[in-house]
Structure 1
Amino acid sequence: MRYDLVIFDNDGVLVDSEPVSNTILAAYLTELGHPTTYEESVRDYMGSAVHRIHELVLERTGQRLPDGFDEVLQARVLDGFARELQPVKGIGEVLELLVAEGIPYCVASSSTHERIRAGHRRTGLDEWFEDAWVFSAEDVGRGKPAPDLFLHAARAMGVEPSRCVVVEDSPLGVQAAVAAGMDVYGFASMTPSDRLAAATGLFSEMTELPRLLA
């Protein structure tokens, strides 16, 4: 394998959380007087940290989201995860292959540590990720599309950015990986491939990933 570290995004790459979380986010924003469809939530917020939601709503409406927005959103998403979250099809086989070949991997996500861990427990992926291999936007000053999170993960794992590859499903994540000087493969399962065009390569089924990494 030509990389020394595989950095996985979490939502939509490891766990099939985007349909759950974006349905909940769209409904909550609409409830607060900011009408948002599921499709608009995916387009505008998929792959981003929660501060981006605040920034875009303020920029577009001149209104700030209420105090406690983050906590209510997180509680609703975690409840949704507990009821219906599933792992991305085929991710277990990819992780088995990396372990068999001795290739280090980690996760670098815009989600909070609590949300990442809750999703992993629900889907059984927690057995694949030690705490030291889990990185969140909470750990850095700026989330994606800034490169900070990926650079932080590479530094913590002791690997040069040029020897890392990122697996992402959002335009913001691809942008962050490119800015970090890393190869990035875009998982075009939910996101139209043209929105991931800046990626090193694209794939639509998780079973295709090992070939790209080889």
Structure 2
Amino acid sequence: MTQFEGVLFDCDGVLVDSEPITNGVLREVLNESGWALTQAECMQIFIGKAVRDERARIEAETGQPLTDAWMRAFYARRDARLRAELQPVHGALEVVVAAHRHAGGRIACASGADRPKVVMQIEMAGMHPYFGDRIFSGHDQPRSKPAPDVYLAAAAHLRVDPARCLVIEDTGTGAQAGLAAGATVWGYCPEGHGRAFKGLAVHRVFHRMHDLLDSLTPEVAR
């Protein structure tokens, strides 16, 4: 396979199975604030996005301002639930180890979520020794995904041309960010339909982490 010089991972839905937990809590607090949403509706609206990026819609639906206090309360409840329930995506740790070896340590996590959450999740999943300080949040960049800023920041930190990077994403929003950065994007789609990447120039869609493991370490994985 192509020898990528850097491998950049999204976090939620790629490394850890956090989306149902986070969106479950988000649905609860939005319902309490006056916006009645089903779980499916909440997932459709917010997957791959920062909550603050939907500020205008949240304020319109709830009739309340999206305050820092509201966000702190949401983060606190979300993080407590994550600490109690979070599990890594099956096979993700093996993939991270293989990518670390494949790229000579030049791997990073580039997430649209707030950095404390991403660091907490990576530590819980046992992946922190492989990422170290190479953890990036869209909250710290001028623009969030689907803008490429967080992937460009990660590639710059690794001192790798984005065109020589592989991005692993599970949402259309994230895939757009990786493509806009000029990277090769592979889409993770455990459900098997791949609709999230429809119309996007995603190079490959895979359905099991071990498919990615086979690609990164064919001589070992088989």
When the two structures are superposed, what TM-score results if normalisation uses the length of structure 1? 0.91
1:21 is aligned to 2:22: yes
Aligned position for 2:57 = 56
1:127 is aligned to 2:129: yes
Q: Is the Cα contact below 8 Å between 2:33 and 2:62 reproduced in 1?
A: no
Tell me which moved more, 20-29 or 56-65.
56-65
Q: Secondary structure at the match of 2:146?
A: coil
> Shift of residue 2 of structure 1?
2.4
> Shift of residue 78 of structure 1?
0.7
Cα separation, 1, equivalents of 2:57 and 2:180: 22
What are structure 2's unaligned runs of at least 5 residues? 218-222
Cα separation, 1, equivalents of 2:88 and 2:138: 21
In structure 2, do the counterparts of structure 1 residues 88 and 207 end up closer, same or farther at CA, with 3 Å as the change threshold? Answer: same
Cα separation, 2, equivalents of 1:79 and 1:89: 22
> Shift of residue 211 of structure 1?
4.1
> Shift of residue 85 of structure 1?
0.4
1:118-172 CA distance string (max 9 Å, x none): 11222222222202x1001122011101111111111111011111111011111
What are structure 1's unaligned runs of at least 5 residues? none
Cα separation, 2, equivalents of 1:191 and 1:75: 33
Aligned position for 1:209 = 212
Aligned position for 1:96 = 97
In structure 2, do the counterparts of structure 1 residues 103 and 66 end up closer, same or farther at CA, with 3 Å as the change threshold? Answer: closer
> Shift of residue 58 of structure 1?
3.8
In structure 2, do the counterparts of structure 1 residues 12 and 211 end up closer, same or farther at CA, with 3 Å as the change threshold? Answer: same
Aligned position for 1:30 = 31
Aligned position for 1:116 = 118
Cα separation, 2, equivalents of 1:175 and 1:118: 26
Report the AA paired with residue 210 of structure 1. Answer: L
Q: Secondary structure at the match of 1:82?
A: helix
In structure 2, do the counterparts of structure 1 residues 184 and 59 end up closer, same or farther at CA, with 3 Å as the change threshold? Answer: farther
Cα separation, 2, equivalents of 1:201 and 1:55: 34
Aligned residues: 213
Tell me which moved more, 89-98 or 184-193.
184-193
Cα separation, 1, equivalents of 2:193 and 2:47: 13
Cα separation, 2, equivalents of 1:174 and 1:15: 17
Q: Secondary structure at the match of 2:110?
A: strand
Cα separation, 2, equivalents of 1:130 and 1:64: 37
Q: Secondary structure at the match of 1:68?
A: helix
Q: Secondary structure at the match of 1:33?
A: coil
Cα separation, 2, equivalents of 1:103 and 1:129: 8
Matches within 5 A, 1:39-50: 39-50=40-51
Report the AA paired with residue 129 of structure 1. Answer: F
Q: What percent of counterpart residues are identical?
A: 35
> Shift of residue 203 of structure 1?
0.8
1:152-209 CA distance string (max 9 Å, x none): 1111110111111110111110111111111111111258511213122111111111
Cα separation, 2, equivalents of 1:108 and 1:9: 5
When the two structures are superposed, what TM-score results if normalisation uses the length of structure 2? 0.88
